[in-house]
Amino acid sequence: MKNQKGFASIAKRLAFAAVFAALCCVATVVIVVPLPYGYFNLGDVFVLLAGWCLGPLYGAAAAAIGSGLADILSGYTLYAPVTFAVKGVSAAGAYFLWRILKHVIVQDKADPLVRLTASLVAEAWMVFGYFVFESVLYGGAGGAASLVGNALQGAFCIVCALFLVSVFYRLKPVKRIFPMLGFTKAANGA
């Protein structure tokens, strides 16, 4: 029975990782506002949620695969490897920073502030990662031109992700499905 439970747990995590990868991809491809370099989308909402819901390994894989696939499907294949790395690190970073800060600030009422801090760092990484890539690709001015669009996208996605997490707090089934969200004292990471 122990092996079956472990297998079910791995199968469940893989299934949810696939769902989050699909959510990252769809949110990136469906709502698109073209910018001079790249496009504004809602994919980072699910990048952050993937990290928080699935933990650093499965969350990073879901975010990286879903977001990278969105670039390929959208015709931005050149961006796919960078997106894979940037979004994977963003998801894992959002999770790790949230867990570290949660141990330092142990009050449950501070959780929104802790998640806000973690998501700000994760989205700052996204802005920086694309700035570096686009500076190499288009020159310093081209990289700088993408800063505002990426920062606005990151800020909007942070607000949406924090709103969804606050909704998750009120849904009892979510507490059982995603123990990584830290709703219970039993959540101990990946």
Q: What are the pLDDT digits (tens) for 41-87?
A: 999 999 999 999 999 999 999 999 999 999 999 999 999 999 999 99
CA atoms within 13 A on the CB side of 66: 34
| Mean pLDDT, residues 177-184 | 69
Which pLDDT belongs to residue 33?
Answer: 85
**Which one, of 113, 109, 120, lies nearest residue 155 by Cα?**
120
| DSSP per position, 114-169 | HHHHHHHHHHHHHHHHHHHHHHHHH-HHHHHHHHHHHHHHHHHHHHHHHHHHHHHH
The answer on pLDDT for 170 being more than 60 is yes
- For the chain, give the mean pLDDT: 88
Which pLDDT belongs to residue 40?
Answer: 86
The answer on pLDDT for 117 being more than 80 is yes
Q: Which residues neighbour 33 within 8 Å (Cβ) at sequence distance 6 or greater? A: 39, 40, 41
Whole-model pTM: value is: 0.88
Cα 59 from Cα 89, distance rounded (Å): 10
SS3 158: helix
